Amino acid sequence: MRLDLPRLKDRFGSVLYYGLQSVYELDSGMVSDEMLTGGNNSTLRIPYEKLHTALSNMAIVVPVKGEKLRLLEGVLMGIPNPVQIIIVSNSDRTPVDNFQLEKDMAQNFAAITNRDVICVHQKDPKLAHAFVKSGYRDLIGKDGLLRSGKAEGMIIGTMLAKLSGRRTVGFVDADNYFPGAVLEYCNLYAAGFAMSRRKDHAMVRISWSSKPKVRDNDLYFSKWGRSSIVTNTHMNKLVSSYTGFESESIRTGNAGEHAMTVDLAMTLGWSAGYSIEPYQLVYLMEQFGGELNTDTPAHFNRPVNVYQLESRNPHLHESKGEEHVEKMIEASLSVIYHSPLANDRVKAAIQNELDKRGIRPAGEEIPVMRKYPPLNTLDYATFRETLRGGGYIPEAARDLELRPA
């Protein structure tokens, strides 16, 4: 893979935002391929060997709820061989047991490719039991099972990634039509980790270069998702309100496709459903920014590199309607609005935005999204012990089960 060099764009305390980096070669060969030509210093080349090492340290979580089986299957095919795949499904089990269909397909894929695929259901009582026993109760709903939602699925996936012994965890949606795009996302995550000097605290967020749509009977490749453009604008306003310089450094406020070190994933707080991706940035600025008095002042001295990489493949996924997008916009802006970092000007701009779009009148209070504490508050040894056996931990990581936490 060959990319732009990373350039630091904005600094919010110890959160370092790098500018958008474009891809120049999806495949830039092996280390030895550039020995003869001497390479060039104007781009960053990540040869196969480095990508492979990073992929071998990675788990990819695929959250799924009622997607077409063929799409999920294509996504699995796009995830490179060295990666540990973790499917977290919240698909309906009645009247048709869709989860069983997904599991059968995943097992078939695992058998054909000789890979160990973890596939769990969000409403599995054993998972709820493991979270309760290890002291992480906020995720439990009234029915005693784990709550629904994409972020909630990601929390489960992150814990399973930790159990698998992998050092990084990435997320890829299950409704992607192009397996080749999924392959590119995974390689971009690997490239981001390969370029990071901070091995403990790094995050890689993908911005799609295009999203194909049909407009006037023609294909149109739009750049920004309808939600992203709004979230990015207000996230940049939040950054600018502290730096004093108008900024457009944040391009990935809603990046569903993103990855981070497991260490960082265990340190971050969570916000429900589709508000999770913008909340990651808000949480980083709150806890690592040095502007607020927090319980974790030690974070102020732990730089977090946030890389934003622009994928080349078009992103084509299932279209889920206007109301879905409006909900996503409100959920995203809610986490900025309710952050103690947001000043009156930032809040007023958000209220105007929601009012202008007919999502919520300016006079009405914006609902607060449910929050979950960082996963490092959970008793990991108990969690692991509770899930021992039963297919939650990949075969290759079994010896980790025997090691102390």
Q: Are 56 and 193 in contact (CB under 8 A)?
A: no
Nearer to Mg ion by C-beta: 254 or 280? 254
Asked whether position 286 contacts Mg ion by CB under 5 A, the answer is no
Piece in contact with Mg ion (CB under 5 A), picked from 63-71, 75-83, 198-206, 309-317: 309-317
Angle made by CA atoms 325, 331, 337, in degrees to the nearest 5: 130
Q: Is 394 in the site for ligand GDD (CB under 6 A)?
A: no
Cα distance between residue 78 and residue 177, in whole Å: 11
Q: Could you say which of 21, 84, 122, 271 contacts ligand GDD (CB under 6 A)?
A: 122
Is residue 68 at the binding interface for ligand GDD, with CB under 6 A as the rule?
A: no
Of 303, 388, 396, 326, the C-alpha closest to 133 is 388
Binding status of residue 256 toward ligand GDD by CB under 6 A: yes
List of residues 6+ apart from 78 with CB closer than 8 A: 172, 176, 178, 179, 180, 181, 182, 183, 186
Write the binding mask 222 to 251 for ligand GDD: x where contact by CB under 6 A, - elsewhere: ---x-xx-----------------------
Cα distances from 358 to residues 26, 32, 123, 197, 237, in angstroms, run 41, 57, 35, 44, 21
149 is an interface residue for ligand GDD by CB under 6 A: yes
DSSP 56-87: HTEEEEEEESS--HHHHHHHHHHS-TTSEEEE
Pick the binder of ligand GDD from 53, 148, 233, 240 (CB under 6 A): 148
C-alpha angle 182-184-185 in degrees, rounded to nearest 5: 65
Separation of alpha carbons 175 and 319, rounded Å: 9
Judged by CB, which is closer to ligand GDD: 33, or 92?
92
Q: What is each CA distance from 33 to 27, 211, 254, 374, in whole angstroms? A: 11, 33, 37, 43
Q: In angstroms, what is the minimal distance from the CB of 42 to ligand GDD?
A: 31
In degrees and rounded to multiples of 5, residue 259 shows phi and psi of -145, 160
DSSP states along 284-348: HHHHHSSSS--S-GGGGGS-EEEEEEEESS---B----HHHHHHHHHHHHHHHHTSTT--HHHHH
Q: Which residues pair with 212 in a beta bridge?
A: 221
- Residue 274 binding partner per list ligand GDD, Mg ion, none, with a CB distance cut-off of 5 to 8 Å that depends on partner kind: ligand GDD
317 binds Mg ion (CB under 5 A): yes
The helix (H) or strand (E) run that includes residue 152 is helix 150-163
> Is 53 an interacting residue with respect to ligand GDD (CB under 6 A)?
no
Regarding 63 and contact with ligand GDD (CB under 6 A), the answer is: yes
- Binding span for ligand GDD by CB under 6 A among 1-9, 127-135, 169-177, 191-199: 169-177
Candidates 125-133, 261-269, 313-321, 331-339 — which segment interacts with Mg ion by CB under 5 A? Answer: 313-321
Query: Which residues 90-119 are close enough to bind ligand GDD by CB under 6 A?
Result: 90
Binder among 124, 277, 310, 353 for ligand GDD (CB under 6 A): 277
- Report the residue number, 256 or 314, with the smaller CB distance to ligand GDD: 256
Residue 175 interacting with Mg ion (CB under 5 A): yes
Separation CA 92–CA 399 (nearest Å) = 34
Amino acid in position 79: I
Q: Does 308 bind ligand GDD (CB under 6 A)?
A: no
Number of residues located near Mg ion, criterion CB under 5 A: 2
CB of 356 to Mg ion, least distance (A): 25
Nearest residue to 146 via CA among 168, 173, 120 = 120
Q: How far apart are CA 189 and CA 58, in angstroms?
A: 9
Smaller CB separation from ligand GDD, 67 or 286 = 67
Give the contact letters, 173-212, x = binds to ligand GDD (CB under 6 A), - = no.
xxx-------------------------------------
Alpha-carbon gap, residue 267 to 264, rounded angstroms: 5
Is residue 330 part of the contact set for ligand GDD (CB under 6 A)? no
- Nearest residue (beta carbon) to Mg ion: 317
Applying CB under 5 A, does 330 fall inside the site for Mg ion?
A: no
With CB under 6 A as the contact rule, which of the stretches 149-157, 243-251, 360-368, 387-395 interacts with ligand GDD? 149-157
SS3 360: coil
Instruction: Determine the 3-state secondary structure of 397 from DSSP.
Output: helix
Size of the site for ligand GDD (CB under 6 A): 26
* Cβ closest to Mg ion, residue 191 vs residue 259: 259
| Interface residues toward Mg ion, by CB under 5 A | 175, 317
| Interface residues toward ligand GDD, by CB under 6 A | 63-65, 67, 88-90, 122, 148-150, 153, 173-175, 225, 227-228, 254, 256, 274, 277, 317-318, 320, 324
